Amino acid sequence: MRSFNLKTSLTLVALTASALAVPFAGAYAAQGNHDGLMDVSPSPLFQGPRIDSIVNEVRGIDQGIAEGRQEKLITPAQANRMDRQSASIIRTAERTAAVDHGRVPSAQYNRLMRRVDHLNENLLNDTGRQSSMGSGS
């Protein structure tokens, strides 16, 4: 059996701690570089007619979701689902603009606007505010 030696044990503990710390430090640094955690500058604000249009439409839908929740026309679960969808649309638009120097190309814009329209239709249907099309009124 080995005898207990304080100097050897402390060296072993120090080496083990540093060996474990290196991967975590690298992961933290990599995360900071990608998420902007280490950046001092604020995140860019994307402007342009397409992204402004998307954001304005989604903000209007968000207001409708809040009103539907307040008036108890939709359940909290429905409201949360729609909130997640609207946040996803905004994130996708911002990510697309970030990749394309602040612009949203027409193909992606059309795809995002279809998602916005679909979310708006779901909100109108779930709140009972959808007007019946073709009713003649």
Averaged over successive runs of 10 residues, the pLDDT of the chain (137 residues) comes to: 57 56 51 42 57 93 95 94 96 90 89 96 89 49
pLDDT of 48: 75
Q: How far apart are CA 105 and CA 65, in angstroms?
A: 28
Q: How far apart are CA 104 and CA 110, in angstroms?
A: 10
Q: How far apart are CA 59 and CA 95, in angstroms?
A: 18
pLDDT of 15: 53
pLDDT of 114: 97
pLDDT of 20: 54
